[in-house]
C-alpha cells in the first residue's frame, strides 16, 4: 500500500496514520522526494482500505500488488515527464534524441559533436568519462577533467549532458557537470549506488542489466525513487542470449511492457542493442514504433578512430539521416495513435 501525505500534514495526523498501519502489522518505509512524502506499507494481513480513507492528512492512497511500488502505473496512471530545463523535456508526447560518442576523448571531438547536434536540432549529448571495461588494461576514460571540458562546451551551446556514473564517490564531483546520471548495465543492481542517487536532485537513467529482467529494472528504479528522487528514466539496451550474430539481443518487447507497468519514460539504446553500425538505423526506428519515448545512440565524427565501440557508432552523415527518420517515424506513430 502507498499513502501519499498532504504537504502540510500535522504531526499528530501523521502519528494517527502510522498507528493505523501498525495495527494491521505492516512494515512502514517513509519516503521523501522532491515532490512528495509517502508511506510505503508492506505486509500480508488483509484489511479494509476504508479504515484509512477518512483519515485527515492523506492526499492519495492505493494498494499496489507489484514488487515495485512508487514506479508502478498502478500508483500513478499519468506518464511522468522529466524536465532537464531550458525547454528540454523527456516523456510521452515527444521523442527525446540523445547522441554522442562512447567516450569523451578531446575538446575538438566535443566541439565537432556539439556542432553536429545543433545542426540537427538535438539537445542532449551522451559521452562517457568513466568507462567500465572487462579488462583492467584498456582505456578507462578521461575522468572528471574530461567531464568539465564536456560541460563547458555543452553549456555554452545549450546542450544537455548524460554521462555514466560508476560508483558512489563519483556522484559529488560529477554533480555540477551532468544533467542526467546514467547507471550502466553492469550497475543496475549496484544497490548502494542507486540508494545514493536517490538523494540527488538530478535525473537518473537506469539501463537494464546484462541479463536483467523487466521486473528487476523496475525494482532498481524503486531504489532511486524510495531514496528520494522521482526523476527516473528506464533504458532497454539489449540482453544477453545464446545468439552471437549480434552483440546483444535488443528486447523491444520490453518497451510496451515497461510502458504499461510503469509511468516512467522508456528510452532505447539500439547501438548496444545490436552492436553493428549498419543495423542501428532500422532498430532505432523499430524502437520508436514499439513505443519508445527516446532513443540514445552512439555517433562520432570518425567512428573508425573512436577510442571505444567504433563498430557500432554512426558517422555524422548517418546520424543526420537517422535523426530525420526518427522524427518522421515518431510523427507517424502519433498520427496512428499506436
Q: Which of residues 7-46 bind a second copy (CB under 8 A)?
A: 27, 29, 40, 42
Both ends of the chain: CA-CA distance in Å?
Answer: 32
| CA R_g for the chain | 21
**Least distance CB 118 / a second copy (angstroms):** 23
Binding a second copy (rule: CB under 8 A), the pick from 50, 244, 304, 317 is 244
Q: For residues 187 and 299, which CB has a smaller minimum distance to a second copy in the complex?
A: 187
Contact with a second copy (CB under 8 A) among 14, 69, 123, 160:
69
Judged by beta carbon, residue 41 or residue 82, the one nearer a second copy is: 41
Interaction residues for a second copy, span 184-203 (CB under 8 A): 186-187, 189-193, 195
Are 276 and 248 in contact by the 8 Å Cβ rule? The answer is: no
Alpha-carbon distance values, 99 to 219, 278, 299, 306 (Å) = 27, 16, 6, 14
Total number of residues binding a second copy (CB under 8 A)?
78
Q: Which residue in the set 39, 82, 274, 296 belongs to the binding site for a second copy (CB under 8 A)?
A: 274
CB of 184 to a second copy, least distance (A): 9
| Comparison of 15 and 213: residue with beta carbon closer to a second copy | 213
Instruction: Tell me if 289 contacts a second copy by CB under 8 A.
Output: yes
Q: Taken in order 121, 124, 126, 130, is the CA torsion positive or negative?
A: positive
Binders of a second copy in range 165-184 (CB under 8 A): 166-169
Query: Is residue 73 close enough to count as binding a second copy by CB under 8 A?
Result: no
User: Any contact of residue 250 with a second copy (CB under 8 A)?
Assistant: yes
The span from the CA of 25 to the CA of 43, in Å, is 7
Q: Give the one residue of 172, 213, 302, 334 binding a second copy; rule: CB under 8 A.
A: 213
Q: Please report whether residue 288 would count as binding a second copy according to CB under 8 A.
A: yes
Closest to 96 measured CA to CA, from 121, 76, 75:
121
Q: Residues 287, 295, 306, 307: which binds a second copy (CB under 8 A)?
A: 287
Cβ-based nearer residue to a second copy, 85 or 136:
136
State how far Cα 179 lies from the chain centre: 12
The answer to whether 98 touches 126, Cβ cutoff 8 Å, is: yes
Interface residue with a second copy, options 254, 296, 306, 314 (CB under 8 A): 254
Residue pointed to by grid coordinates 546520471:
181
Binding of a second copy at residue 222 (CB under 8 A)? yes
**Cα–Cα dist 302/149, whole Å:** 20
Pick from 93, 243, 304, 317: which binds a second copy (CB under 8 A)?
A: 243
Q: Judged by CB under 8 A, which stretch of 6-14, 141-149, 153-161, 223-231 contacts a second copy?
A: 223-231
Query: For residues 223 and 196, what is the distance between their CA atoms, to the nearest angstrom?
Result: 9
Asked whether the beta carbons of 131 and 140 are under 8 A apart, the reply is: yes
Site for a second copy in 74-113 (CB under 8 A): none
- By C-beta, is 219 or 313 nearer to a second copy? 219
Q: Do β-strands 88-90 and 2-5 pair in parallel, antiparallel, or remain unpaired?
A: unpaired
**DSSP line for 201-266:** SS-EEEEPPTT--HHHHHHHHHHHHHHT---EEEEE--B--S--SSSSB--TTHHHHHHHHBSS-E
Helix (H, G, I), strand (E, B) or coil at 329: helix
> How many CB atoms lie under 10 A from the CB of residue 253?
11
The residue among 8 and 243 lying less far from a second copy, judged by its C-beta, is: 243
Taking CB under 8 A as the binding criterion, the range among 48-56, 67-75, 99-107, 114-122 that sits at the site for a second copy is 67-75
* Contact assessment for residue 260 and residue 92, using Cβ atoms and an 8 Å cutoff: no
Amino acid at each position: 500500500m502507498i499513502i501519499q501525505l498532504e504537504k502540510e500534514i500535522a504531526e499528530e495526523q501523521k502519528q494517527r496514520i502510522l498507528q493505523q498501519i501498525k495495527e494491521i502489522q505492516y512494515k512502514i518505509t517513509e519516503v521523501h522526494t522532491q515532490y512528495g512524502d509517502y508511506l510505503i506499507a508492506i505486509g500480508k494481513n488483509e484489511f479494509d482500505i476504508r479504515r484509512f480513507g477518512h483519515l485527515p492528512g492523506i492526499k492519495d492512497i492505493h494498494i499496489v500488488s507489484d514488487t515495485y511500488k512508487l514506479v508502478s502505473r498502478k500508483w500513478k496512471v499519468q506518464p511522468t515527464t522529466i524536465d532537464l530545463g531550458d525547454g528540454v523535456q523527456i516523456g510521452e508526447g515527444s521523442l527525446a534524441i540523445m547522441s554522442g560518442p562512447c567516450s569523451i576523448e578531446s575538446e575538438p571531438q566535443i566541439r565537432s559533436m556539439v556542432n553536429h547536434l545543433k545542426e540537427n536540432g538535438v539537445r542532449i549529448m551522451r559521452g562517457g568519462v568513466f568507462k567500465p571495461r572487462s579488462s583492467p588494461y584498456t582505456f578507462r576514460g578521461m575522468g572528471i577533467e574530461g567531464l568539465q571540458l564536456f560541460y563547458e562546451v555543452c553549456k555554452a551551446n545549450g546542450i544537455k549532458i548524460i554521462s555514466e556514473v560508476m560508483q558512489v564517490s563519483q556522484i559529488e564531483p560529477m554533480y555540477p557537470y551532468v544533467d542526467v546520471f546514467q547507471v550502466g548495465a553492469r550497475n543496475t543492481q549496484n544497490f548502494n549506488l542507486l540508494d545514493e542517487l536517490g538523494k540527488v536532485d538530478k535525473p537518473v537513467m537506469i539501463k537494464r542489466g546484462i541479463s536483467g529482467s523487466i521486473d528487476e529494472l523496475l525494482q532498481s528504479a524503486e531504489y532511486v525513487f524510495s531514496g528520494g528522487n522521482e526523476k527516473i528514466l528506464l533504458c532497454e539496451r539489449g540482453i544477453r542470449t545464446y545468439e552471437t550474430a549480434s552483440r546483444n539481443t535488443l528486447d523491444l518487447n520490453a518497451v510496451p511492457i515497461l510502458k504499461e507497468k510503469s509511468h516512467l519514460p522508456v528510452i532505447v539504446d539500439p547501438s548496444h542493442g545490436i552492436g553493428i553500425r549498419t543495423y542501428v538505423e532500422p532498430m532505432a526506428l523499430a524502437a520508436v514504433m514499439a513505443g519508445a519515448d527516446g532513443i540514445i545512440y552512439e555517433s562520432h565524427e570518425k567512428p573508425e578512430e573512436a577510442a571505444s565501440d567504433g563498430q557500432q557508432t554512426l558517422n555524422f552523415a548517418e546520424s543526420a539521416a537517422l535523426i530525420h527518420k526518427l522524427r518522421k517515424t515518431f510523427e507517424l506513430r502519433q498520427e496512428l495513435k499506436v
